[in-house]
Amino acid sequence: MSDRTRVGVEVGGTFTDLVAFEAGGVRITKVPSTPQAPHRGAIAALDESGLALEAADDLVHGSTVATNAVLERKGAKVAFFATEGFRDLLALQRQSRRSIYDIRYRKPEPVVPRRDTFDIPERTGPHGEVVTPLDEAAARHRVRQALQGGGYESVAICLLNSYANPAHERRMAEMIAERFPGTGITCSCDVTREFREYERASTTTLAAYVQPVIDRYLGAFERALGERGFAGRFSLMQSNGGRLPASGMAGNAITSLYSGPAAGVMGAIRQAGRSGYSNLITFDMGGTSTDVCLVQEGTPVLTSDAEIDGLPIRVPVLDIVTVGAGGGSIVWRDDGGMLRVGPRSAGAEPGPACYRRGGTDPTITDAHLVRGTVLADTFLGGRMAVDPALSRDAFGALATHAGCSVERVADDAIRVAEHNIVRAIQLVSTERGRDPRDYVLVPFGGAGPLHAARVAEVLGISSIVIPPAAGVLSAFGLVASDFVRYESRTVRFALDEAGAAKRVREQFAAMRADAEAAFAALGLTRGLVYTHTLEMRYVGQAFEVAVQLDAEEIARLDAAHLRERFNDAHHRIFEFDDSRTNRPEIVSFRLGIASPPPSVPALAGTDEAPHEALVTLFDGGERVSARRLNRSALLQAGTGEGPLLIADDTSTAYVPPGWRARVDSHHNVILTR
């Protein structure tokens, strides 16, 4: 990539954001999303921006297409092939119940029903040994019976213990491709090489379910880009915080499920890092939800235990917790009269009541207009007209029920939303063995900076970093992200076995060779960086703890050092270690490979004339007189004491009493208590 135009386009639940870096500076565009056809919103953002796409070298895209395909059950029709005797694997799932006392509880519905599941005579043992050879004649007959006239667009293959030996899966894929060319085939050994049969089968079927949807979406998007003269590199954001060229997403669409939230985290890391902050809690509050993530020393925490709609996904994703507390989240009272916020959202259509698109339910955006922390003339920099009177009408019934003013019930709704966010942050910090007071809070999204200070007060956080153009930080994160790929393998052995350290080095070396070959096929060879993670546990435990090692540690690794690292990681999370009475074992290996861009552009604030005014708002049950100013005015003043409203073109920050604000040399607004 050269220093020519670089573009990031992120499709959110309410707005589609574009950030472009070109010779003349930064160009920002924000348009309403089109949930029924997400690519239209993305193309509309490109058209409205006025960019000359023929001059763009790099375009990165993040969308909710894969996520929506699962949540709305609009993916491909999938035929699932499993080992004989395991046809009911997707239906049986796990013994646990999410809601123990709910007599109407039902397990989450898999994306492939039992009638579309077929079993194949074969069996592989947990160490890769062939217990029952693949019966090719029976397999061909079963494939023909299943797929002939079945209308299947995609095939998922997940055979027992194929993570240890994928030979039978490979042969099944060959037979299907010979007999039914053009049918999409997803093998579990290409999606996840980790143990636990249900989780692996769930991941594989989800991958097959969304792959054709993503392929069609990317095809239509690439055609639209070609019509507009774009001939540069087109990449897609992944859930792991890195991107891949569109060609690398063939057979890999499952990694894009949470691309939008992941892009925001990477944007926060890049921008806060410019000001010297590396231990962060990112807080992305958009139109439909709030996503929070913990970042340790500039690296976000990864997990392999993610879920979507109750279904497990065994691929590395950023450890992001999502709650229904976005700007469009609906405020309501439950049967007991308690005020609630979300998870239902007004979304982009019809949107909050103030949008004048037919919405009548009160939302958090309406609450801010009612209490004065968002002003109609500064909404999206004044580019979008909103009606505060409709917001007041929407809160009328709730206010009447509570016997209070609409300002008071709107203020209470915001408090409820903030406590929902606090709980989400505790899930990624306190419950992971991290003290939130050791981190800075980085809020972004259109609504994040409005709530950050009050959330920080509850958690005891004393510093907040608000990036410039916070409302489009996810789109910036797309451009600022590395190219990333992860390889995972389940290889189990106890740490006290002879040659354990040597096996660790050899396994990582083999995975590194595979990852380098995959990257080279995509034309990615520049400045490769690696991460090495072991999933470990004490023998007999049913869960693993991640232990990350650097290259130097692996080169001089011995069993004693690895035992110490594992005991420390286990103690940090669970406040105890069992090193005296139990044996640690290695369960799985995870290797990450990254190719950073040659340079990361800097996100700067808009160049605008200083502006300041006095406003009245409602906060904490009383009316407060506050200064409203833009970043230029704050920069000119040096510092500002709360209460303040700091507005820019994409978001507004609320600085309550007891907080001080300043703009640093990297255009970040720094709040301190």
CATH number at residue 18: 3.30.420.40
Domain contains 380:
no
CATH of residue 554's domain is 3.30.1490
Vertex 461 angle, CA 456 and 464, to 5°: 70
What confidence score (pLDDT) does residue 536 get? 95
Domain contains 370:
no
What confidence score (pLDDT) does residue 247 get? 86
Q: Are residues 492 and 527 in the same domain?
A: yes
Reported for 228-232, long-range contacts at CB under 8 A and 24+ positions apart, including other chains, are 228/46, 228/47, 228/53, 228/54, 229/52, 229/53, 229/54, 230/53, 230/54, 230/56, 230/59, 231/54, 232/56, 232/57, 232/58, 232/59
CA-CA distances (angstroms) from residue 40 to 43, 217, 472?
Answer: 5, 11, 18
Radius of gyration of the chain (CA): 26
79, amino acid identity: A
Question: Residue 404's pLDDT band (boundaries 50, 70, 90)?
Answer: very high
Q: Which tens digits make up the pLDDT trace of 55-83? A: 899 999 998 888 888 988 999 999 999 99
Question: Residue 1's pLDDT band (boundaries 50, 70, 90)?
Answer: very low
Mean per-residue pLDDT, 581-596: 92
First to last CA, the chain: 42
Domain contains 541:
yes
Which of 539, 564, 595 represents a domain boundary (last residue)? Answer: 595
Q: Are residues 77 and 137 in the same domain?
A: yes
User: Which residues are bridge partners to 306 per DSSP?
Assistant: 313
The residue range of the domain holding 534 is: 483-595
Q: Which tens digits make up the pLDDT trace of 597-645? A: 888 888 876 667 788 899 999 998 889 999 999 888 998 888 999 899 9
520's tokens: 């080279």
Distance CA 347, CA 255 (A): 24
- Of 370, 422, 635, 634, the closest CA to residue 655 belongs to 634
**Model's pTM, two decimal places?**
0.89
Domain contains 297:
no
What confidence score (pLDDT) does residue 538 get? 92
Q: Are residues 119 and 171 in the same domain?
A: yes
Number of H helices, E strands in the chain: 17, 35
Name the E strands within 149-254. Answer: 154-158, 184-187, 233-237, 243-245
Mean per-residue pLDDT, 662-669: 93
Q: Are residues 35 and 84 in the same domain?
A: no
Contact 587, 537 (CB under 8 A): yes
Is 250 a residue whose pLDDT tops 90? no
Q: Are residues 557 and 650 in the same domain?
A: no
Of the candidate ranges 32-41, 313-322, 457-466, 653-662, the one whose mean pLDDT is the lowest: 32-41
CA-CA distances (angstroms) from residue 307 to 66, 108, 201, 312, 542?
Answer: 13, 11, 13, 4, 18
Is 52 a residue whose pLDDT tops 60? yes
Of the candidate ranges 135-139, 322-326, 500-504, 663-667, the one whose mean pLDDT is the lowest: 322-326
Which of 194, 213, 232 represents a domain boundary (last residue)? Answer: 213
Q: Are residues 37 and 137 in the same domain?
A: no
Question: Residue 201's pLDDT band (boundaries 50, 70, 90)?
Answer: very high
Domain contains 329:
no
DSSP calls for 411-461? HHHHHHHHHHHHHHHHHHTGGGT--GGGSEEEEETTTHHHHHHHHHHHHT-
Which residue blocks in 312-405 are alpha helix, DSSP H?
A: 364-371, 388-402
Q: Are residues 161 and 207 in the same domain?
A: yes
Distance CA 66, CA 213 (A): 7
Domain contains 237:
yes
User: Which residues are bridge partners to 206 per DSSP?
Assistant: none
Q: Are residues 129 and 149 in the same domain?
A: yes
Contact 410, 370 (CB under 8 A): yes
Select the more confidently predicted residue: 1 or 132.
132
What confidence score (pLDDT) does residue 606 get? 66
Contact 192, 488 (CB under 8 A): yes
Is 416 a residue whose pLDDT tops 70? yes
- Per-chain mean pLDDT for the chain: 91
What confidence score (pLDDT) does residue 2 get? 45
Domain contains 378:
no
3-state secondary structure of 288: coil
What confidence score (pLDDT) does residue 153 get? 94
Vertex 72 angle, CA 103 and 260, to 5°: 110
Output DSSP code: residue 207.
H
Which of 241, 256, 271 represents a domain boundary (last residue)? Answer: 256
Q: Are residues 518 and 566 in the same domain?
A: yes
Mean per-residue pLDDT, 374-400: 87
Share of the chain above pLDDT 90, in %: 66
Domain contains 420:
no
What confidence score (pLDDT) does residue 607 get? 65
Of the candidate ranges 46-60, 273-287, 568-582, the one whose mean pLDDT is the lowest: 568-582
User: Which residues are bridge partners to 79 per DSSP?
Assistant: 155
104's tokens: 């109407």
User: Which residues are bridge partners to 32 per DSSP?
Assistant: 15
Q: Are residues 617 and 649 in the same domain?
A: yes
How many domains does the chain contain in total? Answer: 4
Question: Residue 576's pLDDT band (boundaries 50, 70, 90)?
Answer: confident
- Counting Cα atoms < 13 Å in the Cβ hemisphere of 574 gives 13
Centre a 10 Å sphere on the Cβ of residue 274 and count the other Cβ atoms it contains. 17
Q: Are residues 250 and 156 in the same domain?
A: no
Distance CA 48, CA 41 (A): 10
Q: Are residues 116 and 9 in the same domain?
A: no
What is the enclosing helix (H) or strand (E) of 190? helix 188-191
Contact 272, 473 (CB under 8 A): no
